[in-house]
Chains A and B, each alone.
Chain A
Amino acid sequence: MRACLVVLTLLAASAVARAEVAAPSVGRHTLTLGMIGGGGHLAGLDLGGFGPNLEVALGSGRWQYFTEGGAMIVSLGGPGVDTGGYQVRGGLGARWIARSLQFDHSAAVEMTLEGFTAVSEYWWTGGGRLLRPEVGVGVGWQVRFLDNLRYATRMTIRIAFGPDDPQRAMTACKGACPSRAATGSNSSIGVLMGFQW
């Protein structure tokens, strides 16, 4: 296990060091409109949803510092539970262009890595609310058009971690939550697709 981790770390360090190649700077001010969808667990129940997402970013070199906000229609299901509601979410994060391959000075296919923190508020259709913070990381790829560095289309896969408090989450299922509320995972996956200009 330790040898495996050491080898993996050395390989990663080597690859990242080699990745320090000339990549075109990102636009200084960018706006990204997209859709985000995802799923995970809340108190052991299956949580999923999708909705629009808006991002405003400041760029410097290969970095972008962004704030984002969005809304989702969500569903919460499991044995004996089928409910849903709405979610609004706001967050902050930073994105790094890890790799960039340019074609004829006109476009670049790039790999992005990002980290973020956010807060979501849920309104359940049957009544009740839940405030839930999260932190996460993401990896993605984008095609950026170099005639105007702000134009890009991007897809990011995110992993987010949030507290899993079955007692608070029971506001969603009105105390009729199944016994599996003792959960095994408090992470969720999100897929974000957007257009940046």
Chain B
Amino acid sequence: MKASLVTLLVCASIGEARAERDATNQLGFGIAFDQVPIAGHRVMQMGIGLAVEHPVFRHWRVFGEYEYLWLTEATTDQMDVALDGSGHRSSIGLRRQLVGTTLGKVLTLSIDGEVGGGVGIFSDNLTGAHIMPHAFAGLRLGYVFRAREADDASPPGASFGAAFTFRAIAVEHGIGGMFGLGFAWGG
């Protein structure tokens, strides 16, 4: 985990961002699936959340997320008591474009690196309630459409984008992984 964080930060610091995003706030939502170890269980989580972003430095954006989560665990025995629960997770992080290209001034394709952390509150029928901090590092692959400058239908900087997110998540009991799909509007 530590090595991946260092690698990501180094890549981010030397990466040549060919096409930076407009300096606008973003609001969006997403759905995510992850698996993390909790108290000896490989807990699968599905989450729906809201996300906001704000540009803080020239190449960096800070983002915040809130997710509502459903917790399950795969069992092979029909007579097993299955883990069943729910939770809330909030995260903040930093994101930087590592590679990107802009086509026709309206479409940007990019790969971003991100690091961050947060805390979750979970409760399930087998392991009880947990307050669990986490840290993460990952990549985001996506696109952003921008309103054309000559188009007066939308305000300057208005955009819509979608991205796949892949993260490694470190929690108290080990490291898990996450995959997500998100949509964001800027303007």
A and B interact physically:
yes
- A residues near B (Cβ < 8 Å) are 1, 4-5, 7-8, 11-12, 14-16, 18-19, 21-22, 41, 44, 78-80, 98-105, 109-111, 139-141, 157, 159, 179-180, 182-185, 187, 189
User: Which of A11, A103, A110, A179 contacts B64 (CB under 8 A)?
Assistant: A11
Can you give 24 contacting A-B residue pairs, CB < 8 Å? A1-B119, A4-B92, A5-B90, A7-B92, A8-B64, A14-B54, A15-B53, A15-B54, A22-B155, A41-B84, A98-B185, A101-B160, A102-B153, A105-B153, A111-B28, A139-B29, A157-B29, A157-B48, A183-B125, A184-B86, A185-B84, A185-B85, A185-B86, A189-B48
Give the contact-size bracket for chain B.
35 or more
Name 4 extra pairs, CB < 8 A, besides A18-B187, A102-B147, A141-B183: A8-B64, A19-B27, A99-B187, A109-B160
B154 engages A111 (CB within 8 Å):
no
Measured between beta carbons, the chain A residues less than 8 angstroms from B154 are 21, 100-102
Most interface-central of B54, B79, B123 (chain A CB within 10 A): B54
Would A8 and B153 be within 8 Å (CB), given that A80-B78, A101-B160, A184-B84 are in contact?
no
B27 engages A111 (CB within 8 Å):
yes
**What CA separation (Å) do A38 and B155 show in the bound complex?**
37
B159 interfacial contact with A, CB 8 Å: yes
A101 engages B145 (CB within 8 Å):
yes
A11 engages B153 (CB within 8 Å):
no
Measured between beta carbons, the chain A residues less than 8 angstroms from B159 are 101
Cβ contacts B9-33/A at 8 Å (1 or 0 each): 0000000000000001111110100
How far apart are A47's CB and chain B's nearest CB, in angstroms? 12
